[in-house]
């Protein structure tokens, strides 16, 4: 990963959780993110370690400890990271350019994988 990866992850997560659309504006949105994981063959061990690091970081930077808010973050990280593992097994991008970003909320998700 390049040195900008943490910033890109933060921008992507912020947008998915209802924040500014910086990731889409600067990088092309969900399709671009999926393309960056193609052919990386991510493992479940790597996925679990990544989720743990993000949750540790959330604690370190003072993300609110509200149970509902934390549940929403954990829910998205689990869902999104499992999709990343699936998408990383292929050379093909399963998300069409211009497809909307997934939007994660409290108890609901909207995006290209949800009908």
What tens digit of pLDDT does each residue of 55-92 get? Answer: 999 999 998 888 888 888 898 899 889 988 988 998 88
Question: Which pair of tokens denotes residue 108?
Answer: 């609901």
Question: Which pair of tokens denotes residue 110?
Answer: 């909207």
pLDDT reading at 108 higher than 70: no
Residue 97 domain boundaries: 5-107
In a domain, 114, yes or no: no
Q: Total structural domains in the chain? A: 1
Buried b (16+ CB within 10 A) or exposed e, 66-102: eeeeeebbeebbeebbebbbebbeeeebebeeeeebb
User: What predicted TM-score, i.e. pTM, was given to this entire model?
Assistant: 0.79
In a domain, 77, yes or no: yes
């Amino acid at each position: 990963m390049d040195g900008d990866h943490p910033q890109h992850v933060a921008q992507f997560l912020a947008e998915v959780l209802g924040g500014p659309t910086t990731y889409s504006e600067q990088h092309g949105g969900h399709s671009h993110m999926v393309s960056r994981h193609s052919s990386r063959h991510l493992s479940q061990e790597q996925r679990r370690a990544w989720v743990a690091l993000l949750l540790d970081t959330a604690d370190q930077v003072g993300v609110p400890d509200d149970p509902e808010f934390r549940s929403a973050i954990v829910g998205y990280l689990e869902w999104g990271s499992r999709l990343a593992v699936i998408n990383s097994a292929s050379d093909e991008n399963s998300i069409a350019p211009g497809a909307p970003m997934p939007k994660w909320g409290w108890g609901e998700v909207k995006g290209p994988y949800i009908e």
